[in-house]
Amino acid sequence: MHQALKGGPSFPPGVPSRPVGLRKRWLAAAVLAVLLALVAGVSLGPVSLPPGSVAIELLNLLPGVRLESGLTEREIAIVTELRLPRVVLGLLVGGLLALAGGAYQGVFRNPLADPYLLGVAAGAGLAVTVVLTLGVGVGGSLGELPVTIPLAAFVGSLGAVTMTYLLGVAGGRSRSPATLILAGVAVSAFLSAGQTYLLQRHADSIQQVYSWLLGRLATAGWQDVRLVLPYFLVTSLVILLLRRELDVLSVGDDEAAGLGLHPQRSRYLLIAAASLGTAAAVSASGLIGFVGIIVPHTVRLLAGSSYRVILPLSLLFGGAFLALTDVVARTAAAPQEIPIGVVTALLGGPFFVLVLRSARRVLT
C-alpha cells in the first residue's frame, strides 16, 4: 500500500487520515454470534438436542479433545453428519452474500447495491438453470453439488453485473444511485424471462429447479461444504485485502488515483471477487435475497462506516444471520420446512424500505 494510504496530509477531505479500525469488542461479538448460531443450528430441529451437550460434542471435533457429552451414538451422528454440514454451509453462504453486498455497495458507491438487486443472483440462477435443465456435467442429482454448477454460476453472475453496469452508465455520468438499481431490475427481468423459457421447454426439471430457486440449505453431507469452501476463501481473501482501498474509492476515482491507487483495477478485482462469491453461494443454496443489504447496513449503523469495519464484520455476522434464519425456516412450520429465501424476503422487504427512505436524499 502506498504511503499516502497510511495517513498524512495527502488525504482529501472525504477520507480520514487515520480510519477507524475494527474494534476488538465488535470482532468478539461477531465471533460469539457465529458460535451461538452454530450451536443453535445444530441443537434445534425435529429432534431437539441439549445445547450444552451439542457444544461439548462440537468441541470433541477439535484435535486432542475428548469430553463426555451424554449424547447417544445416534444423536452424535445427527450432529456431525446431518446438521453440522448444513449449519456450516449456511455460515459460508451467508458470509459470502453479506461480504459481496458490502463490496458492491462500496464499488458502486450505492447504498442499495446487493447481489440480488443488481441482477447478479439472477445471472447465476439462469446459468445454473441451463446446467440443470440441459444436464451439462450434472449427474442428475442436486443433492451433491456438481463442479460445473459454481463455474457456470460465476460466468452468469459476472455477465449479469456487466450488463447492469453498462445499462446503468448508458444515461451518462450524472446518474443517481437509483439508476443502477433500476438497471439491475431490468436485467433481472430479462434473465428471469430466459429462465422461465428454459423451464417451459424442460418441464421435467421444473420441480428440481423450482425448489432450488426458492433457496435451501439442504445438503447430502460435507460434499457441498468442501466444494464451496475454496470459493469462500478466495473471495474473502481478495475483498478483505482490498477493504482499505474501498474507503479511498468512496471519495472518487480522481482522488483515489492521486493517492497512487489504480481505481479501475481495484474495482474490477472487487467485482470479480464479489461475483465469484455470489456464484458459489447461489449454486449451493439457490436464490436467497436481501442478506447483502440487511447485514452490511446493520453493521454500518452499529459499528461504523469504514469498510475496514464493515467487510470483516459482514462476513461473520452474515454467516450467523443466515444460519439462524435457517433455524427459523426449519422449525417455524415443522415438520414442513419453509424455503429460506422466503424467510429472508419477509425480513428483507421492510428493511429495504427503511434503507430506501434513509437514502432518499441521495436518490433525488
- The pLDDT of residue 165 is 81
Average pLDDT, the chain: 82
334: which 3 cell numbers? 415443522
CA distance 343 to 171: 36
Residue 362 predicted with pLDDT over 60: no
Residue 13 predicted with pLDDT over 50: no
> Number of helices (H) and strands (E), helices first, in the chain?
16, 0
CA distance 112 to 105: 7
Residue type, 179: T
CA distance 277 to 271: 10
Higher pLDDT, residue 174 or 205: 205
The candidate with the shortest Cα–Cα distance to 288, out of 347, 237, 240, is 347
Residue 248 predicted with pLDDT over 60: yes
The secondary element (H helix, E strand) that includes residue 133 is helix 120-134
Is residue 5 within 8 Å of 248, Cβ to Cβ? yes
CA distance 187 to 165: 10
- The pLDDT of residue 353 is 77
CA distance 230 to 36: 24
CA distance 90 to 209: 20
Is residue 352 within 8 Å of 362, Cβ to Cβ? no
Average pLDDT over residues 288-293: 88
Q: Which CATH number fits domain 89-363: 1.10.287.110, 1.20.120.420, 1.10.3470.10, 1.10.287.990?
A: 1.10.3470.10
- The pLDDT of residue 263 is 81
Q: The cell 481473501 sits on which residue?
A: 237
Is residue 82 within 8 Å of 74, Cβ to Cβ? no
CA distance 186 to 167: 9
- The pLDDT of residue 143 is 43
Looking from the CA of 324 toward its CB, the CA atoms found within 13 Å total: 13
Q: Quick check: helix, strand or coil at residue 137?
A: coil
Looking from the CA of 157 toward its CB, the CA atoms found within 13 Å total: 33
CA distance 363 to 344: 25
Is residue 133 within 8 Å of 199, Cβ to Cβ? yes
CA distance 75 to 286: 29
In angstroms, the Cα distances linking 124 to 130, 175, 193, 314 are 10, 26, 14, 22
Residue 89 predicted with pLDDT over 90: yes
Residue 15 predicted with pLDDT over 50: no
Higher pLDDT, residue 43 or 15: 43
CA distance 132 to 116: 21
- The pLDDT of residue 147 is 61
Q: For residue range 119-158, what is the model confidence (pLDDT) as tens digits?
A: 888 888 888 888 878 765 444 444 445 567 778 888 888 8
Is residue 137 within 8 Å of 209, Cβ to Cβ? no
Average pLDDT over residues 82-109: 93
Pick from 46-55, 68-77, 165-174, 268-277: least confident: 165-174
Average pLDDT over residues 150-172: 81
Residue 2 predicted with pLDDT over 50: no
Average pLDDT over residues 113-122: 82
- Most confident range (mean pLDDT) of 229-238, 286-295, 348-357 is 229-238
Buried residues in 132-145 as b, exposed as e (16+ CB within 10 A): bbeeeebeeebeeb
Q: Give the chain's largest Cα–Cα span.
A: 66
Higher pLDDT, residue 340 or 11: 340
Angle made by CA atoms 292, 293, 298, in degrees to the nearest 5: 110
